[in-house]
Amino acid sequence: MNVKQKIDKLRESINYHNYRYYVLDDPEVTDSEYDRLLRELESLEVEHPDLVTSDSPTQRVGAIPLSAFDEVKHSVPMLSLGNAFEEQEVVDFDRRARETLDTDSIEYAVEPKLDGLAISLRYEKGILVRAATRGDGVTGEDVTQNARTIETIPLKLIGKGYPDVLEVRGEVIMTKAGFEQLNETQRKNNARLFANPRNAAAGSLRQLDSKITATRPLSFYCYGVGEVSGGALAEKHSLIMKQLQKWGIRLNPENRVVKGSKGCIDYYQAIQDKRNQLPYDIDGVVFKVNSLSQQQELGFVSRAPRWAIAYKFPAQEEMTVLEAIDIQVGRTGALTPVARLEPVLVGGVTVSNATLHNQDEIERLDVRPGDTVIVRRAGDVIPQIVSVVLSKRQGESGKFKMPSVCPVCGSIAERIEGDAKTFCTGGLFCEAQRKEAIKHFSSRKALDIEGLGDKLVEQLVDANLIHDVADLFSLKLEDVSALDRMAEKSAQNLLDALEKSKQTTLERFIFSLGIHNVGETTARTLAMHYGSLEKLMQADEESLLQVTDIGPIVAHSITTFFSQSHNRDVIKKLQQENVHWPDIEVKSEDELPLKDKTFVLTGTLTEMSRSDAKTALQALGAKVAGSVSKKTSYVVVGDNPGSKADKAQELGVEIISEADMLKLLS
């Protein structure tokens, strides 16, 4: 086999696998095998540039950005469709078609109406030679370079029997997941966010630099044909679609054939029911008379066919007025701005509130009370403000700023550097955070109150029996036993567990307070460094920054938490309820022989539990990690060790037994 034959064979194989993956959604090879074929082809084409052709799978991205798009006149106009918004309009459409055709029943090809950008793809001898946008229906823009970057658009048709000239028409879209991914990238790059998937798809397809388009997650679905010459197609629209699919053109899997107006309406309802589960946005469904001869007989009116109609879903974007911006405090203490809107019907639902996420989002939108805004509601997603209609802004309303105090409890509200949200610092006292604070306080790694599950916490708060974590220890048997599914015995068990939890450790207590950015490891570090709660509460940021692994953000969170009188009051109540712990003797660095050593434990230990071993190692200054890395000092191996031991061997980390660890501890 010579080089040209090998290249042709590789191209044929890659085009076939593209067809299996993008058209049939049934790949035959793994991604790595596909990549191997593509790399092999690229390598051969580099060695033999004279054999490179425009339809090669390697030639999707153009090298030179355009200065402007050329105009393209469509050989067959890209017509718009008439719209129906009520069921009766579909019934009337079917009746008029039946009367014109003098028939009792009509077969319709039906499909979702994708919310993207219409495009026409011209194939000559099976090779993609031009792609053009719809434009005004008569003249569009030449976007060939950009269309070539879309993986779901074949550069060369497969199979046999396609016409010499075949104009394929369809929609370029961006999936919901692709849209979120693109906006996340835009957000990280401090670039403009796209309002919705349709705008994102249109903007991506109309980039003058095809290299930018190539980075955008675009897809293509075919819905029809334009010019066809030098060959014949089937006599029904649905059969034409099946022919196109065999030649490598991607169809929508929701396409169907139905009978009469009832079949059309039933299909509309079925698609509307699954609309939110579809991976892309749709704004309705399209009904087309399936027979081409019947289409020809029905003809056109103005610039729309009499043989097709779009039955639109209720709009998902509407314009309304932002009356005010309120602040909601979530269960974690996050302050979220909420837009209070003049009620408007969006997607069949009356919307009066929309999330504004955080201060950054408000500034990005430059949204202010009194503004006219565009609101979008997609499925079950919380409605959001897409943009501000600046032309309707009256006067210079002041910019909105997040409050400096929590609107629920009055504690300081602040935004820590590196965090998009603003948080209330009154975690032990704030009513909005009450349930979450109690759940955290009683969790296994905090005070470990056995039997106090999430549902019971919610019952206790809803029954107004506890207002903060300290109230847990003043619960009465008769109050608890009166709760749902709480007999006297289970109520007494809870009170016993509460009594038992009063004796704890300093690190557990610090962790139980739920200080923002203070996790289990940081709580232990603070306990070992300060030795008592009183010294920790008195520490300033400068002192905290001297503690190992404590940075400015964590230090600020700690001092702010303890500066709140509400939080100090709750801690005092807990101590009055006899929640206690032994202070820790703070050791000098000389008394921490395992300082700067990192241990990883794996397998079952026989002399002590892994939890006790972890505590003993940390008491001597060691760090205990969950995974092995080059920075690991020792991996302690017990019975039946896992993959961590293999990883240690691979990295050359020293492996020791439990006995070796005990010697180090002694």
Of 259, 282, 312, which marks where a domain is finished?
312
Structure-token match 């996790």, residue found: 519
Domain range spanning residue 558? 403-586
Q: Are residues 46 and 141 in the same domain?
A: no
Same-domain status, 436 and 570: yes
Same domain, 110 and 219: yes
Residue 338 pairs in a beta bridge with 326, 355
Q: Are residues 151 and 200 in the same domain?
A: yes
Q: Are residues 324 and 453 in the same domain?
A: no
Looking at the domain assignment, is residue 325 inside a domain? yes
Residue 136 belongs to some domain of the structure: yes
Domain boundary among 536, 566, 586: 586
| Domain-located, residue 67 | no
Regarding whether 100 and 19 lie in a shared domain, the answer is no
* Residue 64 belongs to some domain of the structure: no
For the chain, how many structural domains are there in total? 5
- Considering the domain boundaries, does residue 60 fall inside one? no
Name the pTM for this structure: 0.54
The pLDDT, as a whole number, for residue 233 is: 94
Give the span between the Cα atoms of 109 and 89, in whole angstroms: 18
Task: Find, among 250, 253, 252, the residue nearest to 19 by Cα.
Answer: 250
Same domain, 229 and 371: no
CATH number reported for the structural domain that contains residue 328 in this entry: 2.40.50.140
What residues of the chain score a pLDDT lower than 50?
A: none
Do residues 579 and 491 share a domain? Answer: yes
State the pLDDT at residue 62.
58
Q: Residue 638: inside a domain, yes or no?
A: yes
pLDDT tens digits, 12-52: 888 888 777 666 767 776 666 776 788 788 888 888 888 88
Give 540's Cβ-side CA count (13 Å radius).
Answer: 1
- Quote the Cα angle for 593-596-598, to 5°: 100
The catalytic residue positions are: 113
Report pLDDT for 496.
94
Give the strand pairing for 317-329 and 349-355.
unpaired
Looking at the structure, tell me whether residues 441 and 332 fall in a common domain. Answer: no
Task: Return the number of other C-beta atoms located less than 10 Å from residue 437's C-beta.
Answer: 25
The residue among 360, 392, 424 that closes a domain is 392
Residue 446: what pLDDT?
93
CATH number at residue 570: 1.10.150.20
Closest CA to 469 of 494, 496, 442: 442
Q: Are residues 454 and 582 in the same domain?
A: yes
Answer whether 214's CB lies under 8 Å from 149's CB.
yes
Amino acid letter, residue 399: K
Contact 324, 340 (CB under 8 A): yes
* The two three-digit tokens of residue 234, written as one number: 């089937």
Residues 157-167 as b or e (16 or more Cβ within 10 Å = b): bbeeebbebbb
Instruction: Examine residue 416 and state whether it is found in any structural domain, yes or no.
Output: yes
Residues 579, 562 share a domain: yes
Residue 290 CB contacts under 8 Å (≥ 6 apart), including other chains: 106, 107, 108, 109, 236, 237, 238, 257
CATH, residue 127: 3.30.470.30
Query: At 611, which CATH number?
Result: 3.40.50.10190
Residue 56 lies in a domain: no
- Report pLDDT digits (tens) over 468-524: 999 999 999 999 999 988 889 999 999 999 999 999 999 999 999 999 889 888 998
The CATH number for 9's domain is 1.10.287.610
At 342, is the secondary structure helix, strand, or coil? strand
Answer for the pair 142, 71: CB distance below 8 angstroms, yes or no. yes
Q: Return the HEC string of 236-290.
A: EHHHHHHHHHHCCCCECCCCEEEEHHHHHHHHHHHHHHHHHHCCCCEEEEEEEEC
Same domain, residue pair 120 and 8:
no
Q: How far is CA 357 from the centre of its chain?
A: 15
Q: Output the six-digit token pair for 293.
A: 């001869």
